[in-house]
Amino acid sequence: MMLNTDLESTIAYLLLGGNLGNREENLDQAIDLIGKGIGEIEVISSRYETAAWGKTDQPSFLNQAVAVKTRLSAIQVLEKALEIEQVLGRVRKDKWGERLIDIDLILFGNEVIDIADKLQVPHPHMQSRKFVMMPLAEIAPDIVHPVLGKTILDISENISDQLDVNKL
């Protein structure tokens, strides 16, 4: 994949998660591959242990947010993230099901992107999911959600999600 030299660098915020295998090692490997394939890692959140969301009859997740400075487009970041998931052994079976690794593009600079059935940025459910907002608020508290017009910290402090999310 070629870098688009017309693009300035953008900070992309990714949420990583997984609940199978060696969760810590899977996150470490994903972060390493993100640094090699997407861009320069700017900041990484603490890890958070999270009760399974949506489909609750499965092991708890480890989640972590990563800010990466990239010259790729948002769709290229998504494609690279999906490639990294595959390299690390991700198999897509059930929606919200168990997984070795999951990499979601949450924010891409202050852009609003809607490519039907492929990519929505900001992530359409981020503001209602504590497991997304807590690690994101740790690394990007003052970033303003480009649709809601509120800071990440404000959204995370006023979230109604009661899911059990614990900083490790």
| Set 47, 102, 142, 161: catalytic member | 102
At residue 14, the pLDDT reads 98
pLDDT tens-place string over residues 66-79: 999 999 999 999 99
Active site residue 104: yes
Both tokens of 30, joined, read: 């994903």
At residue 57, the pLDDT reads 76
CA-to-CA distance for 168 and 158, rounded, in angstroms? Answer: 22
The predicted model scores a pTM of 0.91
Q: Which fold has domain 10-167?
A: Alpha-Beta Plaits (3.30.70)
Active site residue 161: no
At residue 1, the pLDDT reads 43
Active site residue 142: no
| Set 23, 47, 99, 129: catalytic member | 99
At residue 117, the pLDDT reads 84
> What is the chain's pLDDT, residue by residue, as a tens digit (168 residues)?
445 455 589 999 999 999 999 999 999 999 999 999 999 999 999 999 988 877 777 889 999 999 999 999 999 999 999 999 999 986 655 555 577 899 999 999 999 999 988 899 999 999 999 999 999 999 999 999 999 999 999 999 999 998 889 999
| Set 6, 23, 94, 104: catalytic member | 104
| Set 90, 92, 161, 164: catalytic member | 90
Is residue 90 a contact partner of residue 17, using CB atoms and an 8 Å limit?
no
CA neighbor of 44 nearest in space, from 117, 135, 116, 108: 135
User: For residue 87, what is the DSSP state?
Assistant: H
CA-to-CA distance for 164 and 162, rounded, in angstroms? Answer: 6
pLDDT tens-place string over residues 13-40: 999 999 999 999 999 999 999 999 999 9
At residue 2, the pLDDT reads 47
CA-to-CA distance for 152 and 157, rounded, in angstroms? Answer: 9
The full set of domain ranges for the chain reads: 10-167
Is residue 65 a contact partner of residue 141, using CB atoms and an 8 Å limit?
no
Cross-strand partners of 144: 151
Active site residue 57: no
